[in-house]
Amino acid sequence: MRLDELDYDLPPDRIAAHPASPRDSARLLVVDRGSGRLAHHHVRDLHDLLAPTDRLVVNDSRVFPARVEGRKAASGGAVSVLFCDFAESPIVTAMLGGKRLRTGTRLQLPESRTATIIAPFDNGLFRLTLDPSNDPIAWLERVGHIPLPPYIARPDAPSDRTGYQTVYARENGSVAAPTAGLHFTPALIERIASRGPQISCVTLHVGPGTFLPIRAPSLDGHHMLLERFSIPADVATAIDTTRTLGGRIVAVGTTTVRALESAAAATGRVQPCSGAETTLFIRPGFAFRTVDALLTNFHLPRSTLLALVYAFGGRDLVRRAYDAAILDGYRFYSYGDAMLIL
């Protein structure tokens, strides 16, 4: 598939700068793959759109305040640091914004911490040493900023600490929210459970691999950066049981899809795992093994996220749904409205 096939025109005023309030008042475009029918609802209607035998699977990764502003120790030049991965601490992975960033450059960070560039890594990422390296998440909770996407053209606010976070988030590790889950409220979760569908949690820590743009002219030339995910044994068993009994697996968000399909790649059944790694790039032609329905936001053109949605819903039907959403005034991207593909 060519990259330009992921293009579409979006009026700038359709980009949501703030979340819906309440969360589940966001609009929901329901897309039926069997009939091609489109129907307009709200997320608060979700419990009426699911069958009692369905199982929702959500990504419980938590966004941490990953962005800090620093300066080069030698020149004082400004540097923006987006911390992405602490798995090999004191060596960390980060995206850097600034001029003349070279191996050996030392950065002054808040609370007298420093970082030194080891080397460029991949796709604008760098490996750094962090000093001191203890409790980096606790440090960022004090000094960091919520890493809002650049298309939200405003500084992060205190309200984004909760607004850009799902109500069920619990595992620190993401530098971008699994945005389909932002629409859920405790009351909606309770209504869904009371009607029969159950909700299970997996964890995929959203890193640059999810949101970096595709630069190759063809999707075949793009490779995903590594992201880590975990699926508990009881969740794998519950998914298997649901499908055996004829229920649907409804993935909440593209990151949930990638976790489930990565875990099912070898055997066709979701396997439990802890700290597994995936570079799975789902694009048209992909054979889904586990996911039967998808709740997702409206995504950027030329993105891996939109490629995944094309793969699941079919390019022509998804394009028609996007055109209808634009025509009907839906809000797009991270803080925007949602679609449910059945």
CA angle 109, 114, 119 (to 5 degrees): 110
pLDDT of residue 205: 97
pLDDT of residue 315: 97
pTM of the predicted protein model: 0.95
Of 9, 6, 3, 15, nearest to 332 by C-alpha is 15
SS (H, E, C) 52-98: CCCEEEEECEEECCCEEEEEECCCCCEEEEEEEEEEECCEEEEEEEC
Report the pLDDT averaged over residues 163-188: 97
Element (H, E) at 187: helix 186-195
**Relative orientation angle of helices 315-327 and 304-313, to the nearest 10 degrees:** 110
Distances (CA, A) of 165 to 70, 161, 171, 337: 25, 7, 11, 15
What CATH fold (topology level) applies to the domain 3-63+161-341? QueA-like (3.40.1780)
Question: E strands within the chain?
Answer: 27-31, 38-42, 55-59, 61-63, 67-72, 78-88, 91-97, 106-108, 114-120, 125-131, 171-174, 198-204, 227-231, 249-252, 273-278, 293-297, 338-341
Contact present, 228 and 173 (Cβ < 8 Å): yes
Say whether pLDDT at 211 is over 90.
Answer: no
Cα 214 from Cα 301, distance rounded (Å): 10
3-63+161-341 and 67-143 share one CATH topology?
Answer: no
Contact present, 83 and 115 (Cβ < 8 Å): no
Say whether pLDDT at 118 is over 90.
Answer: yes
How would you classify the pairing of strands 55-59 and 249-252?
parallel
Listed by start position, the domains of the chain span: 3-63+161-341, 67-143
Report the pLDDT averaged over residues 76-102: 93
Contacts 24+ apart (CB under 8 A), 43-50: 43/183, 43/184, 43/188, 43/338, 44/188, 46/188, 46/192, 46/295, 46/340, 47/188, 47/191, 47/192, 47/194, 47/195, 47/197, 48/195, 49/340, 49/342, 50/192, 50/195, 50/197, 50/250
pLDDT of residue 109: 98
- Using CA of residue 333, residue 48, residue 260, residue 5, what is the dihedral sign? negative
Cα 278 from Cα 225, distance rounded (Å): 8
pLDDT of residue 267: 85
pLDDT of residue 89: 87
67-143 has which CATH code?
2.40.10.240
pLDDT of residue 291: 98
Contact present, 196 and 52 (Cβ < 8 Å): yes
Say whether pLDDT at 124 is over 80.
Answer: no
pLDDT band at 126 (very low <50, low <70, confident <90, very high): very high
pLDDT band at 266 (very low <50, low <70, confident <90, very high): confident
Contact present, 177 and 164 (Cβ < 8 Å): yes
pLDDT of residue 182: 98
Mean pLDDT of the chain: 96
Distances (CA, A) of 47 to 114, 159, 225, 260: 49, 27, 35, 22
Report the pLDDT averaged over residues 222-235: 96
Say whether pLDDT at 28 is over 90.
Answer: yes
Q: b/e per residue, 125-134, with b = 16+ CB within 10 A? A: bbbbebeeee
Say whether pLDDT at 142 is over 80.
Answer: yes
pLDDT of residue 65: 97
Cα 208 from Cα 224, distance rounded (Å): 9
| Residue 94 β-bridge partners | 83, 126
